Structure 1
């Protein structure tokens, strides 16, 4: 029972990180009505920026305090992501208002490949480490109930708490702010939103900036755990089937879907993997998404779209 709970808790903590990345997809989809395939590349780009700025600031600015250097590095990386959002709107999305969804989809694919290459050009392609002081030692919980207790990674626990806090803040942003309501209006109909005075340019800059902030936080967490490397962009794309699972436009769906995916892949890998040769975590998310596409294409919390002709 203790081993099952360890696996379950580990899956829930991984699921919160998946939910955090999935929110980036939901944000962009709500604003433009298309998958943002660049979200994974944004995670890598933001993590590279954070890692390199954390190295350069003490070296070139003479900042001796590690905490201050990390804060300045995070702020510099955030400014870079906002500038990137402004450039994406100005050079790409602003030129494609009211275009077909496939055109916007191809645009995000182009942005993704550009960010992958450009990030490594200016920041380098080595494996970098982000040390933000997250505790590495595991802890044992419920040792009075289960012999030996339940082993929990402090780093995963802190990462999950940060992700949960940010997820809750973004969910409140969507539900209770005028900008969040404007985002939903833009997602429903670009032309109608423009006709009632909602500026698409400003909305797109805001939503890409928020998605950049989400990518930065996710990149810092994963960079601290795994190191900043090219595989981060691929890891972040695992949130794609999660969005299908929860629903393309649903913030609660992204949260619940992330938890289901995190727990499901961990339990499957531990309890079924030995009988199938392992490797279930690699394909579990995509098979689960395929099943949902066949049974419930709109996802758990997505809305059914009915076209009357």
Structure 2
């Protein structure tokens, strides 16, 4: 293998790892939107909070990583339950922009709380993933990126199966399609809302732990969620498959742009893709095309 092809392969593998984390974070957006039609911009900050919760349990309380990880995920789910019950449910029936702005404000509050409790300096998570390299032929990939890719792929695969065959997944799809019809069929719609928020925020917290293991944690790591939001819009706001495909594709594109053009071009290209998608296909590659008749 030539040096150029080897470099290209390594960059692509790294991009797939980053893309898997983007897809996992996008999944949190999709789960909540699919059930409640709420775009939860605070998912980015829940991701950040997950990393800090893991840091607290593993570093401050000296718990083993296999104990700290589920606690961090449960903590993210608990925040989702509190937010849904205390902030979102009372706003049912209000305009979409009002609910959206609540999630924007919630994100700022979470950043402020993190800075108050943990400070503003970046921190490194306890090293629970080995640093030994992994080789695919001659190509090198970081073990942390490989573990993140495998973990994200497994979680997304489980969700795809559950939403296809599990009764709860059918209830969520029914609620997303028509809430009134779901009520008439005996589906507990408020319960579906709660489950979507709990599972979505727990997923974001788990993604935050994986992201923190690779690059550390800081109050600004929620910026990663902006790229995930691009994935959601490109893939389709209500499509789990779109989150997977869009995340992997954007991760690879960002890796190529960063390596061959420079890191300063990553944001223009990322949001250029967003604008192009909104102009050509506003409902995303795999999103539902809703037609409103007047």
- TM-score, length-normalised on structure 1? 0.88
Seen in structure 2, the aligned counterparts of structure 1 residues 73 and 195 have a Cα distance that, compared at 3 Å, is same
Alpha-carbon distance between aligned partners in 2 of 1:193 and 1:122, rounded to the nearest angstrom: 42
Larger Rg: 1
The equivalent position to 2:43 in structure 1, one of 39, 44, 63, is: 39
For the pair 1:69 / 2:29, whether they are aligned, the reply is no
The equivalent position to 1:219 in structure 2, one of 204, 208, 214, is: 208
Partner of residue 284, structure 2: 299
3-state DSSP of counterpart to 2:64:
helix
Partner of residue 63, structure 1: none
3-state DSSP of counterpart to 1:211:
helix
Unaligned regions of 5+ residues in structure 2, if any? Answer: none
Seen in structure 2, the aligned counterparts of structure 1 residues 270 and 123 have a Cα distance that, compared at 3 Å, is closer
Q: Which moves more between the two structures, 240-249 or 183-192?
A: 183-192
Alpha-carbon distance between aligned partners in 1 of 2:97 and 2:16, rounded to the nearest angstrom: 34
Unaligned regions of 5+ residues in structure 1, if any? Answer: 59-67, 143-148
For the pair 1:6 / 2:10, whether they are aligned, the reply is yes
For the pair 1:131 / 2:126, whether they are aligned, the reply is yes
Alpha-carbon distance between aligned partners in 2 of 1:186 and 1:116, rounded to the nearest angstrom: 32
Partner of residue 239, structure 2: 250
Alpha-carbon distance between aligned partners in 1 of 2:85 and 2:72, rounded to the nearest angstrom: 20
- TM-score, length-normalised on structure 2? 0.92
Equivalent residues of 1:135, 1:155 under 8 A apart: yes
Alignment of 1:113-124 (within 5 A): 113-124=108-119
Alpha-carbon distance between aligned partners in 1 of 2:123 and 2:283, rounded to the nearest angstrom: 39
Q: Which moves more between the two structures, 39-48 or 82-91?
A: 82-91
The equivalent position to 1:17 in structure 2, one of 2, 18, 21, is: 21
Partner of residue 164, structure 1: 153
- 1:132, CA displacement in angstroms? 4.6
Q: Which moves more between the two structures, 97-106 or 284-293?
A: 97-106
User: What is the RMSD of the two structures over their aligned residues, measured on CA atoms?
Assistant: 1.8
Alignment of 1:203-242 (within 5 A): 203-242=192-231
Alpha-carbon distance between aligned partners in 2 of 1:16 and 1:161, rounded to the nearest angstrom: 8
- 1:234, CA displacement in angstroms? 0.7
Equivalent residues of 1:139, 1:154 under 8 A apart: yes
The equivalent position to 2:33 in structure 1, one of 11, 29, 36, is: 29
For the pair 1:199 / 2:182, whether they are aligned, the reply is no
Partner of residue 104, structure 1: 99
Alpha-carbon distance between aligned partners in 1 of 2:142 and 2:59, rounded to the nearest angstrom: 27
Seen in structure 2, the aligned counterparts of structure 1 residues 292 and 112 have a Cα distance that, compared at 3 Å, is same
Q: Which moves more between the two structures, 3-12 or 256-265?
A: 3-12
3-state DSSP of counterpart to 2:141:
strand
Seen in structure 2, the aligned counterparts of structure 1 residues 4 and 74 have a Cα distance that, compared at 3 Å, is closer
For the pair 1:269 / 2:264, whether they are aligned, the reply is no
Seen in structure 2, the aligned counterparts of structure 1 residues 182 and 103 have a Cα distance that, compared at 3 Å, is farther
Q: Which moves more between the two structures, 94-103 or 248-257?
A: 94-103
Seen in structure 2, the aligned counterparts of structure 1 residues 192 and 176 have a Cα distance that, compared at 3 Å, is same
Alpha-carbon distance between aligned partners in 2 of 1:102 and 1:280, rounded to the nearest angstrom: 31
Partner of residue 61, structure 1: none
For the pair 1:287 / 2:272, whether they are aligned, the reply is yes
Partner of residue 81, structure 2: 86
Alpha-carbon distance between aligned partners in 2 of 1:72 and 1:260, rounded to the nearest angstrom: 33
Partner of residue 140, structure 2: 151
